[in-house]
A and B are shown apart, each in its own frame.
Chain A
Amino acid sequence: MNIVKYLSELIIPLMVSTIVLNGLLNKTDVYESFVRGAKTGAKTVIGVFPTLVGLMAAVGIMRDSGLLNAIGQTVGRISEYIMVPGAVVPVMIVKLFSASAATGLVLDIFREYGTDSCEGLMASLFMCCSETLFYTVSMYCMEIKVKKTRWIIPGALFSLGIGTIVSIILCNM
């Protein structure tokens, strides 16, 4: 555990120092480049703010009304028949909309069933192989004013579906 933790703590400082050092060695104006990049970054954040507000409002309403959990639990009840503990399914569905809400559910599962139980393991795996589809698609598409997302959502759902199936198989092995 310690070595993994240590490495993961190391990765950011290591990456930053490598990039800056390499810049200096290549005689780049590192500070000027940094400021130019930071300006673009700041503009981007201000640009995505309205999108973010819209998304968080919608996700907040879904979460606080209990609809998100209700959907998860309904699907969870159905999934009991295919060897998947019902408690875990909401994680997968909630994760599509909100990483923090999904993390909350995973921690609940850890408390209730233990981290090394089948439920705990499956929930951890679901978190590994999924991404917040809703945020990613709307942030990236809004940024460049793309309205028709074509096969992004079906494609993403397909890949997450495969990830889920593989996680379930791994846990039942």
Chain B
Amino acid sequence: MNIIWGIMIIGGIVYAALTGRMSDISDGIMNSMKDAVSLSITMLGIMSFWSGIMEIAADSGIIKSMTKKMSVIINFFFPNIPKENKAREYISSNFIANMCGLSWAATASGLSAMRELKKMQNPNEVRASDEMCTFLVLNISSLQLIPINIIAYRSQYGSVNPWGIILPGLIATTASTLAAAIFCRIRCRKQ
């Protein structure tokens, strides 16, 4: 991560110097910071809201019963998480929120899941555990079932069949998730 971040900054600035866009960089940083603040303010509201709703769901037992329904999947990917661990609940609610396209709710439960997974480790450990890797790789493989944003843009730009993307989209995202699943299983077996 350190290297990637460094390369992005230095690479960008060197490229700007070569193409004579140095002034864009200073403006760009200013604008990025403005965006970061406005995004954080939006996030502060939305994330608090979803975390609150998720907490109700957790306290009233919905998440527990959903976790039970999903336990086959969770056991398959995370065989080492103990049965009663909270991480299982957060992971299943993250997956469900992702599938429904509720990215904010997904972020809220995803971060909680990571914190629970961290508790299973030695506190001084800086390497990601197998569970963390599996969880993130599955997450990045995109679990969303109906790409509603893209459908909206397609219809806005005059597509005759904006929702025609659903089926191929589903195939593509299933393929990427399956690939992620296979990769994770192989990597976890190796150790």
Q: Are B52 and A65 within 8 A (Cβ)?
A: no
Q: How large is the interface on B (under 10, 10 to 19, 20 to 34, 35 or more residues)?
A: 35 or more
Q: Report the stretch among B69-77, B78-86, B161-169 that lies at the interface.
A: B161-169
Q: How large is the interface on A (under 10, 10 to 19, 20 to 34, 35 or more residues)?
A: 35 or more
Q: What chain A residues lie within 8 Å of B173 (beta carbons)?
A: 128-129, 163
Q: What chain B residues lie within 8 Å of A61 (beta carbons)?
A: 8-9, 12-13, 16, 25, 28-29, 32
Known interface pairs A41-B50, A56-B35, A136-B140. Does A33 touch B56 (Cβ–Cβ under 8 Å)? yes
Q: Could you mark each residue 1-44 of chain A with 1 if its beta carbon is under 8 Å from any beta carbon of chain B, else 0?
A: 10011001001100110111011011011100111111111101
Query: Which residues of B in the span 111-168 have a Cβ within 8 Å of any Cβ on A?
Result: 111-112, 114-115, 117-118, 126-128, 132-133, 136-137, 139-142, 144, 146-155, 157-163, 165-166, 168
Instruction: Tell me if A79 counts as interface (CB < 8 A to partner B).
Output: no
Interface of B is mostly: helix
Minimum distance in angstroms from A35 CB to a CB of chain B: 7
Q: What chain B residues lie within 8 Å of A161 (beta carbons)?
A: 179
Q: Are B108 and A53 within 8 A (Cβ)?
A: no
Known interface pairs A30-B60, A116-B160; 5 further A-B residue pairs with C-beta atoms within 8 A, sorted by A's residue number: A60-B29, A66-B16, A70-B15, A151-B137, A152-B128
Q: A residues within 8 Å of B by Cβ?
A: 1, 4-5, 8, 11-12, 15-16, 18-20, 22-23, 25-26, 28-30, 33-42, 44-46, 48-49, 52-67, 70, 103, 106-107, 110-111, 114-116, 120-121, 124-125, 127-131, 133-134, 136-141, 143-152, 155-156, 158-163, 166-167, 170-171
Q: B residues within 8 Å of A by Cβ?
A: 1-2, 4-5, 8-9, 11-13, 15-16, 19, 21, 24-25, 27-29, 31-33, 35-36, 39-40, 43-44, 47-62, 100-102, 107-108, 110-112, 114-115, 117-118, 126-128, 132-133, 136-137, 139-142, 144, 146-155, 157-163, 165-166, 168-169, 171-173, 175-180, 183-184, 187
